[in-house]
Structure 1
Amino acid sequence: MEFNWPHMAASAVIIAIVLFLLKKTKLTDNAGTGKRVLITAIALFIPLFILNLVWPYSAG
């Protein structure tokens, strides 16, 4: 198994941007722990799912 470094870098950038935007918009400030985790998971899932549709991990 080989690592696809560009795909991992793109994923890391997407994760960093999403977490930055969530903190900047204060979307999860007044949410409980469960709601905050759910919002974060959905916010990360959507762009990473789109990335993997456009650029599958094994397509290197």
Structure 2
Amino acid sequence: MRTRGWGGHVPASDEEAVARILHATRRTIDERGEQTSIADVARTLGVTRQTVYRYFP
């Protein structure tokens, strides 16, 4: 099993991944405002931008 990214805690399902991305997005927007980028959200999660785009194309 891969443990890179996701802070070492890989989501158990796609639904969990989506929920974590949305939560990280809210947190990042609260911190950075409208200047938030996909890269910022990915960095918060410890994943690549491609991972975020996998769930939100």
How high is the TM-score relative to the length of structure 1?
A: 0.38
How high is the TM-score relative to the length of structure 2?
A: 0.40
Higher helix residue share: 1
